[in-house]
Amino acid sequence: MTTDIAILLYDGFDELDAIAPYEVFQNAAALGADFSVRLVTLDDRTQVTASHGLRVEPDGTLDFDDRPDVLVVPGGGWNSRSEAGAWAEAERGVVPDAVATLHDSGVTVASVCTGGMLLARAGLTDGRPAVTHASAVDDLRDSGADVVDARVVDDGDLLTAGGVTSGLDLALHLVDRLAGSAIADRVATEIEYERRFEVHEETK
């Protein structure tokens, strides 16, 4: 059965937060993982501008009727309180509401960097183990999350990762979890990345 993975883009997202996981998942698909990977937005648009100016053409909009199995939420612009980015989206409320709706419907939600603060604003990390970029950890703790010192935190239907490059580890961990360690290791070799295994997994 195909695992549908959607990476949610919004103006001001950090490029590496989204593109690094996208490349990992696409490499996994090329190596045999039954993945379908898309870059999506909440509104119908032809272009999204990332935090460093990269312009990206999304594959389409997030479909709430045909929901993905996994939703990845990048960060960017939280600490600078920029006019475009995670802080702006948290204040606007549309992304947190969408994330909460999808999670409530059974979608596994993952975040990279300060994308974790959008999950926090959605109420998903309340009382649950989570991590975000080091500079936003106090904000995450103040939101009610149980902050964990780890590269990636896997709490089943909720996964969070630390800053920026930890998106590689999050994605490789998800490949490992969904398609097996052999494919995850082959992807790491393909992209010449030495996997970091600082993953905190909750035991149920």
User: Which residues are known to be catalytic?
Assistant: 113
Number of other CB atoms surrounding residue 77 within 10 Å: 22
Cβ(152)–Cβ(160) below 8 Å: yes
**Letter for the amino acid at 64?**
F
Cβ(153)–Cβ(160) below 8 Å: yes
**Letter for the amino acid at 153?**
V
The residue among 202, 170, 172 whose CA lies nearest residue 74 is 170
DSSP track, 68-118: -SEEEE---STTTT-SSSHHHHHHH-HHHHHHHHHHHTT-EEEE-TTHHHH
Cβ(41)–Cβ(10) below 8 Å: yes
Distance in angstroms (rounded) separating the CA atoms of residues 17 and 7: 10
